[in-house]
Amino acid sequence: MKTRHMGMRTGAWAALLALGWALAGCGGGGGSNSDPAPPGAAAPADPLAGLPDGPGCALADRRTFLADQFRTQYLYNDLTPAVDPAGDLALDRYFSASLFKGNERIPSDRFSNYQTSEAYNQFFGEGKTLAYGLSVAGQEVQGRPDLPLWIRDVTPGSPAGVAGIQRGDRVRRINSTPVEDAIAKFDFSALTPQRAGQELELQLERAGVLRTVRIGASVHDAVPVRLGKLINLPDGRKMGLVRFNSMINLAEPDLLGYFQQFRDQGATDVVFDLRYNGGGSVAVGGRVAAMAAGTKADGQVYAVLRNNAQLQSSNSTFRFVSPVSWRGVNRVYVLSGSRTCSASEQMISGLRGVGIEVVQIGSTTCGKPVGFRPREHCGLTYSLVNFDSVNAKGEGGYYNGFSAQCRVAEDFTKSMEDPTEPLTAAAVQHAQGLGCPPASGPDQVPLWARMPRARPVSEGSDPPSVMVP
């Protein structure tokens, strides 16, 4: 079965995608002619170690396969000079040299990547990930080692969850590295394991008490859906809220159950908490969006995926088909931030395309209106940007992300189940007709414009940024 994704970041993937991201950005490891990997990269010394190297899988064959993909399938193939595969470049450097470098309209390609097929299939096929099960708020402290580094998310049932690590714990040391040094280098790669059983030692502070925790990485369930509940508004209306971190098939049964409850309880508004949702399947995102839009949107265009000029006949259209028999809601709230990416942004665009009011709370999304049709070759799965996405109104090209109507900073010391958590509280306030709270948090500029390398940097166990059909 072919899968198409728009963007995600997960533990097993983060370790392997870091390789592709690093390479795409500035060279990276993989041979004696490679530049040093940038901070945050967790690439193994030899990225081809353990992969097939027999007939058809030699380094030259891998370059030839990639050359064909960039020439025929790449969205930016007419904007990117071909690189001769007959040279002597290591795979990472060949990949990097082949990427679109940007122009006055479109930023450079910072999303194309590759990873082992084993890790790719493990996540998208089985819903499992190799990780410690925690993520930190690294983006928020870039260049500011004087600020605290917070644990912002913990996967239930993961090694971190079993060890009692919580959102709001302050990180003081990562293995032997003082957290100030990790922030100064913008390097949290130690939070991304290379193998099951690899150990991580953290010094954490909670309520002024220090403790040291040692955990081992494991392959565990990704747990994409984290929360579903009804919120009773003061005027008697009900608001449904779901928080989920990945647009994968594993998320749908739980989300469908929650939306059936919202229908039965007469919810008039819905909140999608997508602040840590890097994306995933276009088809899954479309079905989840249709749960909120209801039957009134059935048959209308959710998204059109457009290929390069030579493959226009292969463009594909996804339509709303609600799996919940109700009229849906007229207004959707989306809790967003710079980690809201790809298929998550597509959900915002798709709902707006059919006239559903979408109110964003938080900060600007990551800016990824493009996606992948991954191709496997000799043990690696390559995710080149193959298509862009537009909604029913033909709107797309949101490389600067979607700005939030209510700019609200996160408070990492508050549980995300706490009704006073700032983003959730702002949605409740707005739903009562009280407008937005005073603006807080970062300015409304896209992540790629704020970060020097414009590259995703692993902060732990987040799913990878993906949009696939």
Give the tens place of pLDDT for each residue, 308-352: 999 999 999 999 999 999 999 999 999 999 999 999 999 999 999
Residues linked to residue 64 through DSSP beta bridges, in sequence order: none
Share of the chain above pLDDT 70, in %: 87
CB-based burial label for 2 (10 Å; 0-12, 13-18, 19+)? exposed
Average model confidence (pLDDT) across the chain: 88
pLDDT bucket at 119, cuts 50 / 70 / 90: confident
Spatial CB neighbours of 379, under 8 Å, sequence gap ≥ 6:
50, 51, 52, 57, 116, 117, 118
Lowest-pLDDT range, 101-115, 201-215, 388-402?
101-115
Q: What's the pLDDT score for residue 46?
A: 65
Predicted TM-score of the model (pTM) = 0.89
For residues 240 and 267, the answer to whether their CB atoms sit within 8 Å is yes
* H-helix or E-strand spanning residue 370: strand 370-372
Q: How confident is the model at residue 450 (pLDDT cuts 50, 70, 90)?
A: low
Mean pLDDT to the nearest integer, 373-401:
96
- In this structure, what DSSP letter does residue 339 have? T
Token duo for residue 193:
């394991």
pLDDT at 151 over 90: yes
| CATH of span 132-221 | 2.30.42.10
Structure confidence at residue 20 as a pLDDT band (50, 70, 90) = very low
* CATH, domain 225-372+386-468, list 3.90.226.10, 2.60.40.420, 1.20.1050.140, 3.30.465.10: 3.90.226.10
> What is the DSSP code string of 103-169?
-SSS------EEEEHHHHHHHHHH-EEEE-SEEE--GGGTT-TTSPEEEEEE-TTSHHHHTT--TTP
Helix or strand run (H / E) with residue 268: strand 267-273
Domain ranges of the chain: 5-126, 132-221, 225-372+386-468
Confidence at residue 8, expressed as pLDDT on a 0 to 100 scale: 37
Residue 129 vs residue 347, higher pLDDT? 347
